[in-house]
Amino acid sequence: MSRSPLALPDFPWDSLIPYADRARSHPDGFLDFSVGSPVDPTPPVIRDALSAATDAHAYPQVVGTPALREAIVEWFARRRGVDDLSVANVLPTIGSKELVALLPFLLGLGKGDIVVHPSVAYPTYAIGGALVGATVVASDDPAQWPDGTKLVWVNSPGNPDGSVLDVEQLRAAVARARELGAVIASDECYAELNWSGTDPTPSILDPRVIEGDRASVLALYSLSKQSNLAGYRAALVAGCSDLIAELVGVRKHIGLIPPAPVQAAMIAALHDDAHVAEQRERYRARRHRLKPALEGAGFRVDASDAGLYLWATKGQDSWVTVSELADAGILVVPGTFYGESPAEHVRIALTASDADVADAVARLDLLS
């Protein structure tokens, strides 16, 4: 019996390999600004909690421990201004990417349904739609979201461009999704990295946005960025209790369960704001050095108001910029990975060591 393979695009980062090889050949070393993977240590308070929970002989629960769910509820009230959740409104996930990719499947979407995502966006939103055979539409304007839309993705702060949706924009998005009868999911993984201040960016679950009605609304969050937990695969989703119950039911069948030690680590991370503030300031300092160096080298930095990236352009094809920076030993990501058309921006991650940032600044100075 033969089967047809999934018609998925090539993994975009594979096309960066020749440029990475060229950057690695630079006599002064390779500087990787292409992937937003944390380079700083996981805080001791989290590692200690993980270590203490390693006697994990029993199966964990899909819904998470009561202590974890309560910690998520409390964190939303303390850090996101969302004080009306209960444990029925929250769920831990195995990182955020799996939920982004699987949400159309978990919601029962299929051929004939429409998934909307931002026009410049993290590629996995489109992959999730493709996995179930849905039609995928890239659009930032709620008025243009078509009839038949069953799932809308918004992303604030945005990856790759660091743009932020304010309360009014989120409210308009929710209103249009409700007109369409669609679920709206907000990817908020970079919310704590707000460069206009120290308060997080607005959540779609903010009472000013949904006015007490969580129906068909979800918010996703990851601890990878705020707590250097990318290797733990620790994230969460919150919102409509009916949707959360639906997700739990399917996830039980397929065994999508965060490991028990990771759940314990998440509790520690969610209860401790000090390490988050410390990490935010590390990234702020790196951004403060990189942004003017890029501008001095002829780049314009657009948006980039929050999150882990600088969205920069020299007004030329993004692959030309990738090539020029690779010649300087610096690897960045072209805008074409995110659907930008024409692709003129590159995404430059702040997830590099202080030493590598200093080296990159020196090399950019030579390009100015």
Max distance between CA atoms of the chain, in angstroms, equals 60
* The CATH number, out of the four listed (3.90.1150.10, 3.90.1170.50, 3.40.50.10420, 3.40.1280.10), of the domain defined by the range 12-41+275-367: 3.90.1150.10
- Could you please state the CATH topology (level 3) that the domain comprising 46-272 is classified under: Aspartate Aminotransferase; domain 2 (3.40.640)
Measured in degrees and rounded to the nearest 5, phi and psi for residue 195 equal -85, 0
C-alpha span between 352 and 336 (Å, rounded): 22
pLDDT at 3: 52
Domain with CATH 3.40.640.10 in the chain: 46-272
Helix (H, G, I), strand (E, B) or coil at 179: helix
C-alpha span between 174 and 168 (Å, rounded): 10
pLDDT at 12: 81
Question: Are residues 54 and 261 in contact, defined by beta-carbon separation less than 8 angstroms?
Answer: yes
pLDDT at 4: 53
Bond prior to 157 in cis (omega within 30° of 0): yes
Across the chain, which has 368 residues, the per-10-residue mean pLDDT values are 62 90 96 95 98 95 97 98 97 97 97 97 96 97 97 98 98 98 98 94 98 96 97 98 98 96 98 98 98 98 98 98 98 96 97 97 92
pTM of the predicted structure, to 2 decimals: 0.95
Could you read off the pLDDT of 162-192 as tens digits, one per residue?
A: 999 999 999 999 999 999 999 999 999 999 9
Helix (H, G, I), strand (E, B) or coil at 344: coil
pLDDT at 8: 74
Domain with CATH 3.90.1150.10 in the chain: 12-41+275-367
pLDDT at 11: 82
